[in-house]
A and B are shown apart, each in its own frame.
Chain A
Amino acid sequence: MTQGSRSEPILEVRGLAASYGHVEALSPTDLRLDRGELVAILGPNGAGKSTLLRSIVGLTKTRGEVLCEGEPLPRGDPVAVAARGIVLVPEGRGIFGPMTVMENLRLGAYRVRNGGEVARRYERVFDLFPRLKERLHQPAGSMSGGEQQMVAVGRAMMADPKVLLLDEPSLGLAPRVTVEILETLRRLNAEGLSVVLVEQKAPLALELARRVHLLSLGRTVAVIDPREVKTHDELARYYFA
């Protein structure tokens, strides 16, 4: 695998657009993620946030291009994109419910056949989410929503991703669990992981992100620096600007 230069963004989206039938769900969109950065995407329901993430990994038919470290990612081939280390934790988590926690985690490292390496990655995930270690042999679908989200994020981390894409990890979770998961995310980001986080809960995203893209009706209506936005009212102004 070729290493791009340091200044090259780890992920760059250029004019990415997607339609369902004749309805355009995502208008041509640009997005830049530097190495070690956390960018948040905020917007109301139906704004096209999920479509953007799904388009990046090639789950939807798209126009435009996505580059990873300056090299174009193949389009319409989610396996190849995942193999390049761009890993999506989808909305609704997408865990393998009837399978055990351990099996879910193992499949996150599907491409890794070296037992020692797999063991190291398990340890890292247990370090991030100690609770999973106690539940290894439980069917993942039988756990609480928060624990399922931990399985989903843990499984993504088993791939040792270059870029982690998270689609509303807080959806349907109690505030306390949400904080726990976002704290882990903050820690991963501090350790150098590049992250794109989709959220509907604005305060959470504003707190974590370096830059925030505001999406509405399939368009980026603003890119803002959260340090300059301290209140909800200010954020609302952007929506209605």
Chain B
Amino acid sequence: MSGDLLMQSLVSGLAIGCVYGLIGIGFCVIYNASGIVNFAQGAFVMLGGMLTHVGLKTWHLPYWAAALFAVVAVAVLGVVLERIVVRPLWRRKAPVFVMILATLAAQIVIERLTFLLVDDQPKTLPVFTDLPPLKLGAVALSYQTLWIVAGSLAIVAGLAVFFKSTLTGKAMRACAIDREAALLQAIPVSRMLALAFALSAALGAVAGILLTPTQYTAFNVGVPFAISGFIAAIIGGFGRPFGAFLGGLMLGVVQSVAILSLGSGLKSAAALSVLLVFLFFRPAGIFGVAK
């Protein structure tokens, strides 16, 4: 295989990896706040692209307004999900696996509603910057790839500032470390849980909006994204947002190199192999400290 092809595939692997990373961070934020693995995370990604499409094509909003509408709407949906699905179970002290199954059910409901309210046709979005790709030697770098990478890095940096420097961010970390101790400081733990769902949902939506111009979206794209984001989070050592982002990058690169060398049929096999390798040999993730 030629060096240029390999470079090309690394570039596309890093771009898709950023998206997996954002989804993985979404998993971690909710897991840290609640102990729940939220499998409706994929629905947020799908809705990000889908609602932007609706805003753009049906309501004729400007692109940025459609995207903003999608992110806000999905964040609100995240809070609604927390209120009507997670919190009642939480109050009843339902076992964690029941809550996880409930998020999976929510994923299916959202998928079906999208199918009924929109349709089953794949849709795409225009690229953000409509210029021919940059050429770095023989490697082509599309502007959308740059948007994906720059947008994801900006979000990761923003999250770092949020968790490190704001009181609300610190309170969310405190809830993840010791929920009971957080309660004793009068930190409104249940409001932090709603905030975690809003944040994760918004992250998923942004991931969907960034990625859709390079692919397509349809009512049923959510689950594969959820699985990739979940694997990214596992690689990062579940519950570590920045580990999950690196995990996403790693998964993206492994996948695209596998497609290049073994054919696209093996994309999922590569992802699941990475998952198994980590589950068997490094269950605590790349950073290796058991939680």
> Which A residues fall within an 8 A CB radius of B?
57, 59, 78-79, 82-83, 87-88, 90, 94-99, 103, 106-108, 110-111, 113, 155, 159
**Which A residues lie within 8 Å of B189 (CB)?**
79
10 A-B contact pairs sorted by A residue (CB < 8 Å): A59-B183, A79-B187, A79-B188, A82-B184, A90-B184, A94-B178, A98-B173, A106-B167, A110-B171, A110-B187
Main secondary structure of the interface of B (DSSP, over half): helix
Q: How far is the CA of A159 from the CA of B186 in the complex (A)?
A: 9
**Using a CB-CB cutoff of 8 Å, which residues 168-223 of chain B contact chain A?**
170-171, 173-174, 177-178, 180-189
- Having A106-B167, A110-B167, one finds 19 other A-B pairs with CB under 8 Å, namely A59-B183, A59-B184, A78-B184, A79-B186, A90-B180, A90-B181, A90-B184, A94-B181, A95-B181, A96-B181, A99-B170, A106-B170, A107-B171, A107-B185, A110-B171, A110-B185, A113-B167, A155-B185, A159-B185
**Which A residues lie within 8 Å of B167 (CB)?**
106-107, 110, 113
**Which A residues lie within 8 Å of B182 (CB)?**
107
Q: How far is the CA of A96 from the CA of B184 in the complex (A)?
A: 12
Q: How far is the CA of A155 from the CA of B247 in the complex (A)?
A: 36
State which of A90, A106, A110 has its C-beta within 8 Å of the C-beta of B186.
A110
CB distance from A111 to the nearest CB of B (A): 5
CB distance from A83 to the nearest CB of B (A): 5
Q: How far is the CA of A59 from the CA of B178 in the complex (A)?
A: 14
**Which A residues lie within 8 Å of B180 (CB)?**
59, 78, 90, 94
**Which B residues lie within 8 Å of A98 (CB)?**
173, 177
**Which A residues lie within 8 Å of B185 (CB)?**
82, 107-108, 110, 155, 159
Q: How far is the CA of A96 from the CA of B188 in the complex (A)?
A: 16
How big is chain B's contact interface, by range?
Answer: 10 to 19
> What residue of chain A has the Cβ atom nearest to residue B188's Cβ?
A79
Q: How far is the CA of A90 from the CA of B184 in the complex (A)?
A: 9
B170 touches A107 (CB 8 A): yes
**Which A residues lie within 8 Å of B177 (CB)?**
96-99
Q: How far is the CA of A124 from the CA of B178 in the complex (A)?
A: 25
B184 touches A107 (CB 8 A): no
B174 touches A99 (CB 8 A): yes
**Which A residues lie within 8 Å of B181 (CB)?**
90, 94-96
**Which B residues lie within 8 Å of A155 (CB)?**
185
CB distance from B272 to the nearest CB of A (A): 32
Q: How far is the CA of A233 from the CA of B124 in the complex (A)?
A: 83
**Which B residues lie within 8 Å of A108 (CB)?**
185
CB distance from A157 to the nearest CB of B (A): 12
- From known contacts A79-B189, A99-B177, infer whether A94 and B170 are also in contact, taking CB-CB under 8 Å: no
CB distance from A93 to the nearest CB of B (A): 8
**Which A residues lie within 8 Å of B186 (CB)?**
79, 82-83, 110-111, 159
**Which B residues lie within 8 Å of A95 (CB)?**
181
> What residue of chain B has the Cβ atom nearest to residue A155's Cβ?
B185
**Which A residues lie within 8 Å of B170 (CB)?**
99, 103, 106-107
CB distance from A61 to the nearest CB of B (A): 11
**Which B residues lie within 8 Å of A57 (CB)?**
184
Q: How far is the CA of A111 from the CA of B181 in the complex (A)?
A: 15
Q: How far is the CA of A228 from the CA of B181 in the complex (A)?
A: 37
A94 touches B184 (CB 8 A): yes
> What residue of chain B has the Cβ atom nearest to residue A82's Cβ?
B186
CB distance from B187 to the nearest CB of A (A): 5
Of the candidates A59, A88, A96, A106, the one having the most CB atoms from chain B within 10 angstroms of its own CB is A96
